[in-house]
Amino acid sequence: MFLSLFQKIKLKGYKPSIIRLDNEISKEHFNLLENLDLKIQLVLPYEHCQHLVERAIQIYKNHLIAGLSRADPNFLLILWDTLIPQANITINLLRNSCINPRLSAYAQIFGQFDYNATPLASPGCKCIAHDKPSTRRKWSVHGTKAYYTGPAMQHYRCYEVHIQKTLAKRIADTVTFLPHNISMLHKITKEATLARIHDLIKLL
């Protein structure tokens, strides 16, 4: 895991110069860090103020739990790991870059996040994924119940959803979200608009 993350950051033109870990590091991991030409600093046990890694893990854990708490009540908790990619994106969008505080940590490594190309939604939200005419029967419904798990980063304006019926992942471009705890905005009809105008006139 560490080596894959290190290689990903290195491909973006960045290389850590120092690694701060607790003193329970294994000999194999210690040798790996030395082979990567990284300076190692060990922190004594229970020194949480100096151990930034433990603090970062705690923040990430709270962020992931907050996402799970917003999920639909019927969302299968066994699928919690499918929400990790979006959690990685959102927490790094919220964090400032250590190199340039004017940028987010995500923008510093991957560039500006394009919300139009890869829209985000509430993790674990119930939704209806559109079934293409070529994949459905002639008189069947046009959508399938699913749960949103994250953006489809390799596709334009698409979502990754977990199909409730087949228990499989699908990339969907047309999705209707059905949040359980908030009301979706609806188009205001002409009659409702006129009624609000009359209410404003009475108040004035």
- Tens of pLDDT along 125-167? 999 999 988 888 888 889 999 999 999 999 999 999 999 888 8
Residue 150 within a domain: yes
- The residue among 145, 30, 149 whose CA lies nearest residue 82 is 149
**pLDDT digit string, tens, across residues 56-100:** 888 999 999 999 998 999 999 899 999 999 999 999 999 999 889
**pLDDT digit string, tens, across residues 101-110:** 999 999 999 9
Residue 41 within a domain: no
Determine the structural domain holding residue 161 and report its residue range.
51-177
Residue 146 within a domain: yes
- Rounded Cα distance between 37 and 88, Å, is 27
- The mean pLDDT of 116-124, rounded to a whole number, is 93
Residue 200 within a domain: no
Beta bridge partner(s), residue 96: 104
Q: Quote the number of domains for the chain.
A: 1
- Rounded Cα distance between 15 and 6, Å, is 8
Residue 44 within a domain: no
- Rounded Cα distance between 87 and 70, Å, is 13
Residue 197 within a domain: no
Which run of H or of E encompasses 65?
A: helix 52-69
- Within 10 A of 108 (CB to CB), how many other CB atoms are there? 19
Residue 93 within a domain: yes
pTM recorded for the entire structure: 0.74
Residue 22 within a domain: no
